[in-house]
Amino acid sequence: MTRPKKKWGQNFLRNRGAVEKIVAAVEPAPDDVIVEIGPGEGVLTAKLLELPNRIVAIEIDPELAARLRTKFGDKLELRNEDAVDAPLPDTPYRAIGNLPYNVGTPILRRVIADPHCRRAVFMLQKEVADRVSAKPGSDPYGFLTLYVEAYASARQLMTLDPRSFHPPPKVRSAVVVLDPRDPGLQSSREQVLDLISASFRMRRKKLVNNLTGWREHTREQVLEAMGRAGIDLDARAETLALADFDRLTAQL
Ligand code: SAM
């Protein structure tokens, strides 16, 4: 066994019940490719290989990649690459992974924005999972929540205690299931997310203060647009839903 490397977030899952539940949540169609991110010692991989689907695994650690090649041979398409920018399939696929904590968010963001992704089942830090599935007005609600909502519906499948891993991480983890969907926006996702990003610049400030000066809009222009979009002029970004930001984008 190799020594777990902290820099790559190597906390290996040791909970059999969780392995079964996470893999069962993938629910692939027969021709979906399954992309596993960060297979590590291969605990999820072994279970995935019982499925008839083509399995691709992306592992950054060359030592673990070599071990996985020996363990699974040709059955597994193993790529020793960085999942932050590695090529993803250009045919329908489902992603799965107990994501490394330091790059969990960028990997989640690129996968759900990818047009070929049909579902993603990701283990994240519980705190990040809570941000992904937060409700307006709650503490974890913010840019990440709305980014995810612009691409997918999200639900939490289970929460895991640090003792489910070796070595135990400092924080709890949770598994989220993300199903890409069209949110039916009037403006482009990029435009709406650009506005959302500016709206959360200073979380405790009122929306009008965060947007004054953004893209050279005056306070009066922002207030008028908020009025036309039916948004309370004293509102803070954290109370608004994706549809509110969409209407405001159309007005600004
Ligand atoms: N899937 C295994 C499990 O559940 O036991 C390992 C999970 S461990 C939390 C994260 C895995 O992702 C490690 O194997 C680590 O080497 C790998 N990893 C870290 N950063 C990565 C990256 N940027 N691209 C691909 N794999 C990465």
| pLDDT tens-digit readout, 82-108 | 999 999 999 999 999 999 989 999 999
Residues of the chain with pLDDT > 70, as a percent, come to 100
Please list the residues that pair with 117 across neighbouring strands.
93
Mean pLDDT to the nearest integer, 202-221: 96
- The verdict on the CB of residue 44 being under 6 Å from ligand 1 is yes
Mean pLDDT to the nearest integer, 60-79: 97
- The verdict on the CB of residue 33 being under 6 Å from ligand 1 is no
pLDDT at 203: 87
Task: Measure the CA–CA gap between 119 and 94, rounded to whole angstroms.
Answer: 5
- Its pTM surpasses 0.85: yes
Question: Coil, strand or helix: which one is 203?
Answer: coil
Confidence check: pLDDT of 1 > 70: no
Mean pLDDT to the nearest integer, 219-225: 98
Tokens describing residue 33: 């490719």
Confidence check: pLDDT of 2 > 80: no
Task: Measure the CA–CA gap between 182 and 94, rounded to whole angstroms.
Answer: 17
Computed over every residue of the chain, the mean pLDDT equals 97
Tokens describing residue 189: 């996702």
pLDDT at 82: 98
Confidence check: pLDDT of 32 > 80: yes
| pLDDT tens-digit readout, 156-208 | 999 999 999 999 999 999 999 999 999 999 999 999 999 999 999 998 899 99
Looking from the CA of residue 100, the nearest atom of ligand 1 is 10
- The verdict on the CB of residue 83 being under 6 Å from ligand 1 is yes
| pLDDT tens-digit readout, 223-252 | 999 999 999 999 999 999 999 999 999 999
- The verdict on the CB of residue 60 being under 6 Å from ligand 1 is yes
Q: Provide the pLDDT confidence category of residue 51 given band limits of 50, 70 and 90.
A: very high
Confidence check: pLDDT of 60 > 90: yes
pLDDT at 8: 95
Identify whether 62 is preceded by a cis peptide bond (ω within 30 of 0).
Answer: no
Burial of residue 93 (number of CB atoms within 10 Å: 0-12, 13-18, 19+): buried
